[in-house]
Structures are given as C-alpha cells and as structure tokens.
Amino acid sequence: MEEDRRCPQCGKTIPWEEAECAFCIERGTFLRSLPRETILLLCVPVLAALFAITSTAAKIYHSQQRALAQEWYLRGEAHLRAGEARKAIEDFSKALVYSRSNALYRLRLAQALFAANQAEEAGPYLLDLWEREPANGTVNLELAHLAARKGDAAEANRYFHSAIYGVWEKDPENQRRQVRLELCEFLLSRGERQAAQAALIELAADLPKDAELHARVGALFLRAEDYSRALEVFRQALRLDQRQQKSLAGAGEAAFQMANYREARRYLEQAVRLNPQDTHAVQRLEMTKLILSVDPLERGLSSQERSRRVVRAYQQAVERLRECAQKRREALAGEQPLTELQTMYARAVQFRPKVRERPLQRNSDLLMSAMELVFGIEELTARDCGHPADVDLALLLIARKHGGAE
C-alpha cells in the first residue's frame, strides 16, 4: 500500500491517492485569478521592505567607512603632531581609502608628505585641491611653500599673494597676517629687501595690540634695514609692554644703526638689565658707551673736553695707520709718498704740530680739520686692512655719523 508524502513547496501532506498538492494548486489558481494591478499592489510593500533593508545596509556600510576614515585621520593627526611624518602619511593614505573625495584628508596627506621631505609627491595632491578650490587660502599657502622649496620665486610669490587674499574658514584676519609674515621672511631670505620693505609696510599698517607681534615685525624691519620703521614698531610694542626685553633690545639696535647713540644707550641699558645674557645687546651697549665717550663732536661738551677728545682721536688714528701699513708691509716714512697709506701718513705728520689742546680750543675750524683727517684715516684703513675694533671702530662709526672725511 502506498503512503502519504510531503509537498516539497509548502510542506503539507499529500494523500497517497493525490498526484499533486491540493493546497499549492489552489494557491496558484488564486494568484492567477487575481488582476495584474492587485498583484502589483501586493508587490509594493514587499519591494518597500526590500528597499528599506538595502538602504539600511548601505547606511551602515557608509557609516562604518566614515568611522574607519575618521579613525585613521585622527591617528595621522597624532603622528603629525608628534613629528612622525612617515607614519602620518600611512594613516592619511588609509583614511583616503575609506573616503576618497575628502579634501581635508588630501590636504593633510600633502602636508605630511611635505613634512617628510617628499615635496614632489605632495604636489599632485595640492594641485588637485587647487583645481577644485583655487581661492582656498590653505592650499595656496602650501603651494607657496612647495614653490619656495623648488626655488621658483615668482611662483611662490604668486601663491603667497593668493593665500593672503584667499578664503580662510577660521580666523581669516589672523591667517592672512601670518601669511604676510611668511612672505616677508621669504623675501628677506632671498635678499629682496625692497620687496620685503613694501610687504612689511602693508603688514605694519594694521597690527593688533599684540606686543609679541610688534616685536616680530620690528625684527623683520631690522633685517630689511629699514631702521626708522623698525624703531617706530618697537616703540609701539613698548607702549603695549614697556618691559618687553626683545623690543628694548630691538629699539636699541635700530637707534644704534641710525647713529642715535644716546637713544640707543637708553634702550640697551634697559634691555641688558632685564637680560644680562643677551650678548649682542651687551656688546652694542659697550660700543654705544664708547662712541659717546670718545666723540669730539658730541653735543654739550666743554671746549676743553672737546679738544682733549680730538687729540686722543688723532693719536689713535695715527696708530691705526701704522698698524695697517705694517700689516700690508708698507714703509710709511719716505721722501716721496707713493701709496694712499703713505700719502695719508704724510698729511698726519704735517698736521701733528697743530693737534694741541689750546689751539684746538681757540679755533673751531682747526678742530674740524683735525677730525676730517681722523675720519679719513679710519675710512682708509677700514678699506685696506679690514673692519676695526674698539676705539677705531667707534671713530669709524662717528665718521659715518658725521659724513666722513670731505
């Protein structure tokens, strides 16, 4: 006797005398009997459920991708801050695997490559970012760095200016000011003093009330040899912080370079009191005091002191002349002077009887003639025998302050 069996589709029992599953036949007949519109309507919720499932799965996938990208990005930031640029390159590269179009990750990868001295590899990333956002301040600044490293001054200058006038998301005023500072540093490093002075004038025109920033700009003016503007910026810094040692030393240096030795001494004395370890300020102060102590043309001197200083200056200059001639193996004494040193020595010997305190006190023209001779000797020996030191350097600086020898 034959046995009942199970339907492979619905699992119901099929009596042994039946050839097919009555339930499945009935269901199929039912579905075939339904209108097409009804069947389509019945499919909608099914499709909607499938779409929701797919959408949810996609969101979960993309969320996981973003989380992984963010994780690698944060690792890269940590490594970059720690100075481990090569590890940061790996981290940012992995972040880009999970988020290929992320502009921030591309920028940080380029900066990491730059920090690892792989500037050539950073270039394509930066140029790609620039093509997307040509006004982006950060990207233009990095391209300026890249051009500067390559030695392309014109390209670097162009990108620096694009960065200055570019778009910055955070604190744009300060960011543009920092770019101007970098531009000035770049120009000075190339010896472009006039261009640097022009850039510094623009920068100094709108400085915030920040003594440190004023001190930095003043130092740049010093490097650009614009001493009057340097002094003014240092004075502004000192109005904000009168005990800022850097600005006191800077103001003293600027005043010294302008031959304002009394003002230089005042600033330098304060700077040295605040920081006795500032060797440059200490040396400048010593030279300033020496200049003020030997200059016969310093205002406020009595006629006796003025004439004494002229005599000492003459004696010092003649001694310097002898040392210079000895260094050059030239004999100064001779019947017929042939060299400039010999000619100058002959003039000094001829003038010697007049260089006495009493005649100098009575005759201001004689005093000036004696000093012109001293200035001439110091200029000549500085040219032929190198930069002098101590009193001779002081006399040379005094000569240049008063216009030198005629």
pLDDT greater than 90 at residue 322: yes
Q: What's the whole-number mean pLDDT along residues 45-52?
A: 56
- Decide if 389 is inside a domain: yes
Answer for the pair 252, 264: CB distance below 8 angstroms, yes or no: yes
Are residue 286 and residue 375 in the same domain, yes or no? no
Q: How confident is the model at residue 31 (pLDDT cuts 50, 70, 90)?
A: very low
Plot region of 257 (φ>0 → left; ψ -120 to 50 → alpha; else → beta): alpha
Q: What's the whole-number mean pLDDT along residues 23-48?
A: 56
d(CA 363, CA 230): 40
Q: Give the lowest-confidence range in 9-18, 151-160, 217-226.
A: 9-18
Q: What is the pLDDT of residue 337?
A: 72
Q: What is the pLDDT of residue 119?
A: 72
Q: Give the domain CATH number at 288.
A: 1.25.40.10
The total number of residues written for the chain in this structure: 406
- Decide if 44 is inside a domain: no
pLDDT greater than 90 at residue 3: no
Are residue 255 and residue 310 in the same domain, yes or no? no
Q: What is the pLDDT of residue 398?
A: 94
Q: What is the pLDDT of residue 132?
A: 87
- How many domains, in total, are found in the chain? 2
Can you name the residues that pair with 14 across neighbouring β-strands? 5
Are residue 309 and residue 390 in the same domain, yes or no? yes
d(CA 30, CA 151): 83
Which CA distances in Å does 341 have to 21, 249, 316, 369, 379?
131, 38, 15, 18, 11
Q: What is the pLDDT of residue 74?
A: 72
Answer for the pair 252, 239: CB distance below 8 angstroms, yes or no: no
* E strand or H helix that includes residue 5: strand 5-6
Q: What's the whole-number mean pLDDT along residues 313-319?
A: 95
Are residue 282 and residue 320 in the same domain, yes or no? no
Q: What is the pLDDT of residue 30?
A: 47
Answer for the pair 224, 197: CB distance below 8 angstroms, yes or no: yes
Answer for the pair 396, 388: CB distance below 8 angstroms, yes or no: yes
Question: What predicted TM-score, i.e. pTM, was given to this entire model?
Answer: 0.77
pLDDT greater than 70 at residue 61: no
- Decide if 107 is inside a domain: no
Q: What is the pLDDT of residue 24?
A: 64
Domain boundary, last residue among 260, 294, 328: 294
Higher pLDDT, 20 or 139: 139
- Decide if 376 is inside a domain: yes
Q: What is the pLDDT of residue 38?
A: 60
DSSP secondary structure letters along 320-353: HHHHHHHHTT-----SS--SHHHHHHHHHHHHGG
Print the domain residue range for 371.
304-401
